[in-house]
Amino acid sequence: MQVKDILKKAINLESLTLEEGLYIYTQASTPDLMYVANELRKIHVPGHKVTWQIDRNVNITNVCISGCKFCNFHCGLQSDSAFITSIAEYKVKIEELERYGGDQLLLQGGLHPRLGVEFYCSLFKELKSMFPNIKLHALGPPEIAFIAKKEGMTYRQVLEELVEAGLDSLPGAGAEILVDRVRKQISPGKPDSQAWLDVMAQAHQMGLVTSATMMIGHVETLEERVEHLIKLRNLQAQKPADAPGFLNFIVWTFQDEGTKLQREGVLNTVTTEEYVRTIALCRIMLNNIPNIQASWLTVGIDTAQLCLHAGANDFGSIMIEENVVSSAGAKYKMDAYGIQKAIVDAGFEPQLRNQRYEYIVLSDCEFSRIYSIEELKQNTSPLL
């Protein structure tokens, strides 16, 4: 087995085996991995643009029985801190989102034992009635699987009801590592890896836009990371030809501050080089997923910029609000100016997008605007 032969196979968009993926990750130099991943990015996403988005991450509730050891945000049903976001609170949050120029809510729920399909359908319908232009990028496979089991419904039936109520796209939340050895250790109450894949398979059959994720830097092995990527690639290969399937893939690092995993001695030791190499490997292994996102929220802006030269073509969202990862130590923040400047400083052209990766124009709004390349090359932010 030779590194150059495997990388040549990758450049030809051939699917690498688990053994080949492991071999190049452990044996290829970082410059070689970055070069091949960057060449593949040019094939999948021609041009010099790096996309970004404006959305808001709102938590439907903080009650969750999954017992994830990496999450500081969840609580039990009887906790004094337990909440369900009210319609009045949504109204305030969405109005602020619109002042930033955003039109999408990323709604994260959690496995709340008393909330079923009727609650979520009612919520989606109410939000759409108040804000018909808002896109709902909501829940995730673990929530869908949990609701289906609770209601005695199929995954397809749950998804169909949610789509009718206003669901626009399905996030790839709750994937972590799609290997049950890992899931049993870090997320003991969460649906297993096959449930995650089966929910996404139904979403793809329905033509829903979806995303996929991977969390690294905890108890997983390198082999399990590659196994995760191959499962995603295989699922993407099974989608209907006219379905979008997974439009993007995001790698984020375990944030350990104050978590149960940290108390058990598990710390995030992912270095900048390891993250960049991982992004490159993801671009190489995922030969049928077009967009790779760098997680500036968890690794920082400098590392994310490097990833734009290692296969990533997307910088994600300014994330007006994010509570879950931030509660475990992720402290990086960016506004519309900052994210555009970071992209330009890395040598690329920023391009605003929606969840379907359609290029969009920012309409007049109070808190955000599109800046010229000349403005972004300056060292200080101009006044809005």
pLDDT digits (tens, 9 = 90+) for 56-68: 999 999 898 888 9
Please determine, for residue 298, whether its predicted confidence score (pLDDT) is greater than 70. Answer: yes
At residue 327 the predicted structure's pLDDT band, cuts being 50, 70 and 90, is: very low
- Tell me the average pLDDT of the chain: 92
Read off the pLDDT of residues 125-177 as tens digits, 9 standing for 90 and up: 999 999 999 999 999 999 999 999 999 999 999 999 999 999 999 999 999 99
Please determine, for residue 328, whether its predicted confidence score (pLDDT) is greater than 60. Answer: no
Give me the phi and psi of 356, to 5 degrees please: -85, 5
Distance, CA of 97 to CA of 234 (rounded, Å): 36
Distances (CA, A) of 250 to 120, 215, 229, 290: 26, 9, 11, 12
Give me the phi and psi of 212, to 5 degrees please: -135, 155
pLDDT for residue 380: 55
pTM: 0.93
pLDDT for residue 225: 98
pLDDT for residue 334: 82
* Domains of the chain, start order: 3-361 (3.20.20.70)
Q: What percent of the chain has pLDDT over 90?
A: 79
Please determine, for residue 382, whether its predicted confidence score (pLDDT) is greater than 60. Answer: no
Read off the pLDDT of residues 95-106 as tens digits, 9 standing for 90 and up: 999 999 999 999
Please determine, for residue 333, whether its predicted confidence score (pLDDT) is greater than 80. Answer: no
